[in-house]
Structure 1
């Protein structure tokens, strides 16, 4: 077994997050808030619980914003930021960390939010340990295919629909030197899928070279790839952290759990919740807000907000909406 304190984490977080625009026009995808804190903070907090202190984070668009935020948030962690100048896929992103990895590593994508015991994945009984979950439609994901219980192959985005064991975007790799060799081989031979180099294919090359592999089941796995899944993840995380079950009456407002409410929030004559995540310095007046994410500095007045995500300092006045607004947007007068 490898001591967790010697494990390094690689977090590819350079994606543009195009399916979360307009929120991601002015913030890195990894900083999009869900259930009260940015995606990547959920991830790092979970890894810190497992004792991981050393991180290599791959950044891209607005990478300086992400770097500044995380350095301020985690001053006691070892953080190295590497810039991915051109999007070339998950394998290329991981390969950028190669000069800084000196120990077995854990790889987790910057939008892969998980909850559960990571100890089985960190036991390092094999060259690589793959976090997996069984789902009914594996087509958007990498899939584990077995023969006689043994992992036979890894298939990226299969074309079949049946209950399958899929890769959830978390991997622990003991034989990290072989992994980087296989990624280099993948790129040297220009083995692309949809014009990108996939980590799944590099791990498949490892299998073909005789690397040992096993899987461990992830208890909860949250996807934040688009607005529907972002709001679904917001609901699930809030539900998992529910502290009370009955509505609370406070200062002329009704708060219906589960909710997350930040600091310096001003509310009057409003109903907030269920499944509302309210950021810091938000003002809500004479409004109903449910099943929504309201970012820092927003002002909502005389509105009904449902199944929405509002960017930082958005202004919503007198409108019933199901909308996704970017930073400093205004709707209504």
Structure 2
């Protein structure tokens, strides 16, 4: 089935990580975020993908090319990000007069969950939550969706909209909807028109994550790195050949170079071209990507991504963090529950705090406002090429912008 994947937005809530790249290309385990969405679509039955691109679109086009996973890819460019219905309307000329699926390119799904969306007629995916009052909530009667209510004080159900839709071909004529109160053309208004004409099925997902803010990127990596190492274990049990990857243990993949003097515990993947040196301890789940180096005498624990060509050096501890491509934490440092952008460089002795003394959830600045991360432990977010001076201390919930710097011995308690 033809599938539209929305990947045109600027990702302003994810800044500074999206200053120089589109949010869909942020790393989640071994792939960009949007690649997980496209892979899930193909596994569910997508036979053609139309990618709606806009902001910083070149990396998306370069990654997917003309075909991906044996499925043809077509691109349409949304000039102004005027809402999800406008994005699909932009894609409409590239669609055949047939049913179509629409997916948000910043959403993650559990394996197999999208298959029921593709099977049968019109449908919308939802997940059940304890408190649906901050979401679009589905009203369902006798197994049919009868409406959707935005952020209701008295929710009609605990099913929230997961932003994945199966529309009939006729919906191509219903895309011209008026602007909402927030000045955008909303796909939920197209859904309302669809509900007026045909029965729409609710499809319940077992797990789903909308990746919109930095701590959700951390959560996405926690989820998908664990899934990746589980897949490595499955491949081992299924008899994957040595020419594909060399496994050491039931849940570890060491295609790269791992010192005999390193201690590896739990599920860990070391990609080809990566190096784990002597004296290192890694407690998985962890993914060490191609070209990365860890050690000597470093400690990596929690669910951690060490990105391509990143480095974790002597006497450095990294816990439950994302280090993007080229990030360097080389000497006597601690990084906990943090997201470091590309080519970040930590001066020797830089220490990140990741816990408030009052045990309240750490707050982070999102679009100019302090917002709770909902996480008792959360460290810092550093934009690409941020650099710290030696012996810098950075407080929990601090953001350093793209290219920001600190002075030697500085304690940073506010965003920069």
Q: TM-score, normalised by structure 1?
A: 0.89
Is 1:278 aligned to residue 278 of structure 2?
no
Match of 1:19 among 6, 13, 16: 13
* Counterpart Cα distance in 2 of 1:182 and 1:223: 26
Higher relative contact order (CA 8 A, sep 6+): 1
Match of 1:119 among 115, 124, 131: 115
The residue matched to 1:46 in structure 2 has which SS?
helix
Query: 1:260 Cα deviation (Å)?
Result: 1.4
The residue matched to 1:99 in structure 2 has which SS?
helix
Could you say what the CA RMSD is over the residues aligned between the two structures, in angstroms?
A: 2.2
Matches of residues 49-88 of structure 1 in structure 2 within 5 Å? 49-71=43-65, 74=68, 76-88=70-82
Q: From the superposition, tell whether residues 144 and 309 of structure 1 become closer, same or farther in structure 2 (CA, over 3 Å).
A: same
Contact 1:130-1:170 within 8 A present in 2 as well: yes
* Counterpart Cα distance in 2 of 1:199 and 1:309: 31
Structure 2, gaps ≥5 residues long: 231-250, 253-263, 267-275, 353-378, 391-416
Query: Which residue in the other structure is 2:322 paired with?
Result: 293
* Counterpart Cα distance in 1 of 2:105 and 2:336: 27
Query: 1:109 Cα deviation (Å)?
Result: 0.3
Q: Output one character per residue of 1:91-130: Cα deviation in whole Å (capped at 9) or x when no partner.
A: 1111111011113222110101111322211112x2x111
Query: Which residue in the other structure is 2:281 paired with?
Result: 254
Match of 1:204 among 192, 202, 207: 192
The residue matched to 2:132 in structure 1 has which SS?
coil
Counting matched residue pairs gives 318
Is 1:319 aligned to residue 341 of structure 2?
no
* Counterpart Cα distance in 2 of 1:284 and 1:114: 31
Is 1:182 aligned to residue 191 of structure 2?
no
Query: 1:149 Cα deviation (Å)?
Result: 4.2
Contact 1:138-1:160 within 8 A present in 2 as well: no
Is 1:35 aligned to residue 23 of structure 2?
no
Query: 1:327 Cα deviation (Å)?
Result: 1.5
Contact 2:144-2:202 within 8 A present in 1 as well: no
Query: Which residue in the other structure is 1:231 paired with?
Result: 218
Query: 1:180 Cα deviation (Å)?
Result: 2.1
The residue matched to 2:62 in structure 1 has which SS?
helix
Is 1:216 aligned to residue 203 of structure 2?
yes
Structure 1, gaps ≥5 residues long: 1-6
Query: 1:332 Cα deviation (Å)?
Result: 2.4
Contact 2:11-2:212 within 8 A present in 1 as well: yes
Query: 1:78 Cα deviation (Å)?
Result: 1.4
Query: Which residue in the other structure is 2:239 paired with?
Result: none
Which moves more between the two structures, 60-69 or 26-35? 60-69
Which of the two has higher C-alpha Rg? 2
The residue matched to 1:331 in structure 2 has which SS?
coil
Query: 1:148 Cα deviation (Å)?
Result: 4.3
Q: Output one character per residue of 1:268-302: Cα deviation in whole Å (capped at 9) or x when no partner.
A: 11111211011111111021111111111111122
Is 1:195 aligned to residue 183 of structure 2?
yes
Query: 1:160 Cα deviation (Å)?
Result: 4.0
Which moves more between the two structures, 48-57 or 268-277? 48-57
* Counterpart Cα distance in 1 of 2:151 and 2:3: 25
